[in-house]
Amino acid sequence: MAQDGGWFKSRLGEAIAIVLSILAAFAIDAGWDEWQDRDDEAEVRVDLRAEYETNLDLVQQVIDGHQGFIADVEITSGLAPADYDTMSVNTASRLVLSLANPWTFDPVLGTTETLISSGRIALIRDRELTEMLTTFLNYVEDADEDADYVRSGAEFVWREEARLGGPWFNGEVERSAQGALRGLDFIPPATPADLRRLWADPLVRGGALWNQLNAAYYLVELERIRDQIESILDRLPSTENGSDRTSSTS
C-alpha cells in the first residue's frame, strides 16, 4: 500500500507539473502576444503622427491660399480706374490668378485607412483617439461637397477667361498647393489691361465673387479639420522622443 501511495503521489506530481507547464506556456504566449500588440501599437502611433503632421501642413497651405485669394479679390473689387494705370504686371497677374482658386485639401490617409479597413484599429487602446480618427474622416467627407463647388467655380472662371484672351501665367506670382510651376514661360503674364477687362465682364466678376463665397464656406470646414488634426496630434507620440503626450489607456 505504501508503494501504491508513492506511485499515486508521483503520478499526481507529474500531472500537476504538466498542467502548470501548460498554463505557463499559455501565460508566456499571452504575454508575448500582448507585448507584440503593444510594440505594433507604438509603431502605428508613430506612423499616425507622421501622417497627421503632413496633413496639418497640407490643410494649412490650403487655408492660407484661400485666405490670400479672398484678400486679393477684395482688393480687385475696390480698384478705381486710375489704379490700373499704375499697377505692375506682377500685381495684375496675382489678382487675375485669385479670380479662380481651385485649391482643395487632399489628405494623406494611408495608415488611417489601412487600420480601419483591416480591423487593426483595435490595436490602439486609446478609444478617444480612435474616435477622433473616425471623426476626422467624417469631417473630410463633409468638406468634399464644398471642395467640389470650389473646383467647379474655378473651372467656370477659367472658361470665361479663355473667352476674353486667357490663359495667363506669371512664374513670379503663380501659386500652387503642390509647389512652384515651371516650364510655362511661353504663356504670357496678365497685364493690368487684362485684369480690367476681366473685372468689367459680368460673368467673370460674378463667377469670381461666387468663388470667394464658396471658398469662405470651405474654409469653415477646413478650419474644423485643422482643429481635429491638432487634437489627434495631442494624443500621439512625439517623433522627437517617442514619448506619449497623453496616456494610451485614456
Q: What is the pLDDT of residue 246?
A: 40
User: Does 152 or 31 have the greater pLDDT score?
Assistant: 152
- What does residue 46 show for φ and ψ, rounded to 5 degrees? -65, -45
Highest-pLDDT range among 3-17, 34-48, 109-123: 109-123
Say whether pLDDT at 127 is over 80: yes
Q: With beta carbons less than 8 A apart as the criterion, state whether 171 and 185 touch.
A: yes
User: Does 155 or 15 have the greater pLDDT score?
Assistant: 155
Q: What is the pLDDT of residue 154?
A: 95
Q: Give the integer Cα–Cα distance in Å for 79 and 146.
A: 29
Say whether pLDDT at 90 is over 90: yes
The mean per-residue pLDDT over the stretch 75-98 comes to: 96
Say whether pLDDT at 87 is over 90: yes
The mean per-residue pLDDT over the stretch 57-67 comes to: 94
Which contacts qualify for 187-190: CB closer than 8 Å, 24 or more apart?
189/89, 189/90, 189/92, 189/93, 190/89, 190/92, 190/93, 190/96, 190/97, 190/166
User: Does 30 or 234 have the greater pLDDT score?
Assistant: 234
Highest-pLDDT range among 39-43, 72-76, 99-103: 72-76
Q: What is the pLDDT of residue 97?
A: 93
pLDDT band at 33 (very low <50, low <70, confident <90, very high): very low
The mean per-residue pLDDT over the stretch 178-196 comes to: 87
DSSP readout, 125-177? --HHHHHHHHHHHHHHHHHHHHHHHHHHHHHHHHHHHHHTT-----TTT---T
pLDDT, averaged across the chain: 83
Of 10-19, 66-75, 143-152, least confident by mean pLDDT is: 10-19
Q: What is the pLDDT of residue 34?
A: 45
Whole-model pTM?
0.79
pLDDT band at 210 (very low <50, low <70, confident <90, very high): very high
Q: What is the pLDDT of residue 23?
A: 54
Of 109-118, 174-183, 227-236, least confident by mean pLDDT is: 174-183
**Amino acid sitting at position 128:** E
Say whether pLDDT at 30 is over 80: no
